[in-house]
Amino acid sequence: MQVEVPAVLRALAAGFTRFFRAFAPRHPAQVIVLGFAAAVAVGTGLLLLPVAKAGGAEPACWKRCSRPRPPSASPA
């Protein structure tokens, strides 16, 4: 039995294929650079998780960015 795939899904699959083919690395050096960038991005994301900090606390950068800054003294 053959199942008919809706035209919308076929068009969506074709669009994804075109998108990923446009950004596919064309040279071995690009594969190395993109792999390194992906590893850095994944590692950064994992280190930002609360589990990555001792005691399950939030990362320090979240506390620093979320609290209001004190007013700076203006020069007299």
- 3-state secondary structure labels for all residues of 1-35: CCCCCCHHHHHHHHHHHHHHHHCCCCCHHHHHHHH
> Domain of 42?
27-50+58-63
Is 34 within a domain?
A: yes
Is 44 within a domain?
A: yes
Q: What is the pLDDT of residues 38-58, one digit of tens each?
A: 999 999 999 888 787 776 566
The per-residue pLDDT for 45 is 93
Residues of the chain with pLDDT under 70: 1, 55-76
The pTM (predicted TM-score) of the whole model is 0.48
Residue 31: alpha-carbon gap to chain centroid: 18
Q: Residue 48 has which token pair?
A: 């930002």
Is 45 within a domain?
A: yes
Is 13 within a domain?
A: no
The per-residue pLDDT for 24 is 79
The per-residue pLDDT for 39 is 97
Is 76 within a domain?
A: no
Number of domain units in the chain: 1
The per-residue pLDDT for 13 is 85
